[in-house]
């Protein structure tokens, strides 16, 4: 064999080896993945079917010493179990909570994902209320992952 033939053969073998290495770098394997994303969310509704969300509660006229209740339905709209808590905030006038007490019957209640629970919200007006003709406040209901 002459030198040109050996060089050509060596070049072909080198190119073939390089091509194989390039193909090895370009191969791939697809691995299918599945999973779930944890979400936390609650909704507050007027009825058990959860068709009408509650955005405002009108307590109307309350007399000194009166206790008034409102029924709402809490739905866990997330994918994890939550513990419910509620508080009243942003009172107007700011001294109103000295005379008006907010309470509910679902404090620290465990609510599974997708479940609905009836909740009773209540206001109790002190017998000695004074200086308040009207009031407003926000009810903040929170669901915390267990």
Report the CATH fold assignment for 42-145. Immunoglobulin-like (2.60.40)
Cα–Cα distance measured from residue 104 to residue 119, given in angstroms and rounded to the nearest whole number: 7
* Sequence-distant (≥ 6) Cβ neighbours of residue 67 within 8 angstroms: 122, 123, 124, 125
Domain locations in the chain as residue ranges:
42-145
pTM over 0.85: no
Check residue 24 and give its pLDDT: 56
Closest residue by Cα to residue 54 from 77, 71, 39: 71
Token pair recorded at residue 34: 């599945």
Prior bond of 93 cis (ω within 30°) = yes
Based on the number of CB atoms within 10 Å of its own CB, is 72 exposed (0-12), middle (13-18) or buried (19 or more)?
Answer: buried
Sheet holding 100-104, edge to edge: 42-45, 67-76, 116-125, 100-104
Mean per-residue pLDDT pooled into runs of 10, the chain (146 residues)? 55 58 68 78 96 93 95 96 95 95 97 97 95 93 93
Residue with tokens 């007027």: 46
């Amino acid at each position: 064999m002459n030198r040109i033939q050996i060089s050509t053969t060596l070049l072909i073998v080198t190119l073939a080896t390089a091509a194989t290495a390039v193909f090895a770098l370009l191969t791939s394997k697809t691995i299918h993945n599945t999973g779930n994303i944890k979400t936390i969310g609650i909704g507050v509704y007027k009825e058990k079917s959860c068709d009408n969300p509650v955005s405002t509660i009108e307590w109307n006229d309350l007399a000194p010493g009166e206790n008034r209740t409102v029924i709402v339905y809490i739905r866990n709209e997330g994918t994890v179990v939550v513990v419910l808590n509620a508080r009243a905030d942003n009172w107007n006038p700011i001294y109103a909570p000295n005379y008006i007490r907010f309470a509910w019957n679902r404090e620290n209640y465990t609510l599974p994902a997708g479940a609905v629970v009836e909740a009773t919200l209540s206001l109790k007006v002190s017998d000695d209320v004074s200086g308040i003709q009207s009031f407003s406040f926000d009810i903040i209901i929170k669901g915390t992952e267990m």
